[in-house]
Amino acid sequence: MVRDKQQQTNKRDQTIHLRCSRQERDIIDQAARVVGKSRSKFVMEAASREAVNVLVDRTVVTLDAAAFDQFQDMLDAPPLPTDALRKLLLTKAPWE
């Protein structure tokens, strides 16, 4: 039942027509080839990701004074040391 609903939600039956310059198309095609995706899939993933980022950046969270104080206390409190945190802090960053 849930799978059927997901398939309906993910059904690609809508179109978006775009105009671009040859240079824009060529750079998109080059990037899509590098990651092994079709132009459509590459553009849709990039556009969807950016759309989510725009909406998240404009999300407003409203807290009453007590909830804000609790939230601020949580931000100010250092995390408790755990094995997972130690492992994370000892892991070399991917760009290093």
pLDDT band at 59 (very low <50, low <70, confident <90, very high): confident
Mean pLDDT of 33-61: 94
Mean pLDDT of 2-18: 74
Domain limits of the chain?
A: 15-73
**What is the average pLDDT across 34-44?**
96
DSSP the chain: -HHHHHHHHT-----------HHHHHHHHHHHHHTT--HHHHHHHHHHHHHHHHHHHT------HHHHHHHHHHHHSPPPP-HHHHHHHHSPPTT-
Which pLDDT band, with edges at 50, 70 and 90, does 12 fall under? Answer: confident
Of residues 31 and 79, more confidence is placed in 31
pLDDT band per the 50, 70, 90 thresholds, residue 9: low
